[in-house]
Amino acid sequence: MTEALIITIDGPSGSGKGTISQRVAQKLGLQLLDSGALYRLVALCSIRQAVDPDDVVKLAELARTLPVSFKLGSEGVAAFLNGEDVSQAIRLEEVGLVASKVAALPEVRAALLERQRDFAAPPGLVADGRDMGTVVFPNATIKIFLTASAEERANRRFNQLKARGESVSLARLLEDIQERDSRDMNRQVSPLKPAEDAVIIDSSQMGIDDVQDAILAIVDNR
């Protein structure tokens, strides 16, 4: 049996992983896993149910049993919680910050591990996250670590939120990005870091099309 092609795209917040993963998956006709959305869904659910952020047992239980589904549409991947479309709600900055906190809990990560691996199915998968190449799919065919300077990532996020009509401060966004980077990189379990066999792409000076072309070239030359 031929093994499914697995492409992992890891990197810090705002580096473009989501945008690029979606494009690469569409271009190659592969499945897509937005693992950050799973952590965001746990966060959203915990906020809605007013779960104590220190109640690890309850948070892990949420992660294990979360009734989620994803659907690929013209606007990208829509996320559903109990059948409700929560694609916009999970993208709120406050949900992202809580997601970063619940993602530091080993019990929550363990509860989501197999759920993430279940996304690997023929003809293959593009998996976007922080530990796709290091922990979830250590035998992936191709591992990319996509990064960009914190300032460039804050700028991108600023433009993204402005286009959505949200009023935000650039300085505040930069602080949030630095806070999240620090938590994601310094946590005990599955910290954000490139896999030893990852190709590192710094997109600070690259447009989205350039990044897409660079990754498709790596896939072609594998």
Ligand X SMILES: Nc1ccn([C@H]2C[C@H](O)[C@@H](COP(=O)(O)O)O2)c(=O)n1
Q: Does 156 bind ligand X (CB under 6 A)?
A: no
* Rounded alpha-carbon distances, angstroms, from residue 76 to 16, 19, 33, 70: 14, 9, 12, 10
CA dihedral 167, 156, 150, 39 (to 10 degrees): 80
Of 5, 32, 132, 211, which lies in the binding site for ligand ATP, with binding defined by CB under 6 A? 211
Interface residue with ligand X, options 6, 7, 20, 103 (CB under 6 A): 103
Shorter beta-carbon distance to ligand ATP: residue 138 or 207? 207
Q: In terms of CB distance, is 85 or 217 closer to ligand X? A: 85
16 is in an annotated binding site: yes
Instruction: Map the footprint of ligand ATP across residues 127-166, applying CB under 6 A.
Output: 156, 160
| Given 130, 143, 156, 157, the residue binding ligand X (CB under 6 A) | 130
Residue 206 touches which member of ligand ATP, ligand X, none, C-beta under 5-8 Å by kind: ligand ATP
- The Cα–Cα gap between 72 and 216 comes to 21
Which of residues 7, 8, 14, 126 is near ligand ATP by CB under 6 A? Answer: 14
Residue 101 is assigned to a ligand binding site: no
Give the β-pairing of 68-73 and 76-81: antiparallel
- Ligand-binding annotation for 87, yes or no, is no
- How far is 22 from 27, CA to CA, in rounded Å? 9
Q: Which does 184 bind (CB under 5 to 8 A by kind): ligand ATP, ligand X, none?
A: ligand X
Which parts of 34-53 interact with ligand ATP (CB under 6 A)?
36
The closest of 168, 157, 119 to 19, measured between CA atoms, is 157
Decide the pairing of beta strands 124-129 and 5-10. parallel
> CB–CB of 77/22 below 8 Å?
yes
Torsion angles phi and psi, residue 64, rounded to 5: -70, -35
The one-letter code for the residue type at 156 is: R
Residue 133 interacts with ligand X (CB under 6 A): yes or no: no
The strands making up 142-147's β-sheet, listed across from edge to edge, are: 31-34, 124-129, 5-10, 142-147, 199-202
Which span (19-27, 34-42, 139-147, 205-213) binds ligand X, by CB under 6 A?
34-42
Q: 28 is written with which tokens?
A: 């190659």
Report residue 153 CA to chain centroid gap.
15
Binding positions for ligand ATP, rule: CB under 6 A:
11, 13-19, 36, 156, 160, 203, 206-208, 211
Residues belonging to the binding site are: 11-19
Binding positions for ligand X, rule: CB under 6 A:
13, 35-36, 39-40, 96, 99-100, 103, 129-131, 180, 184
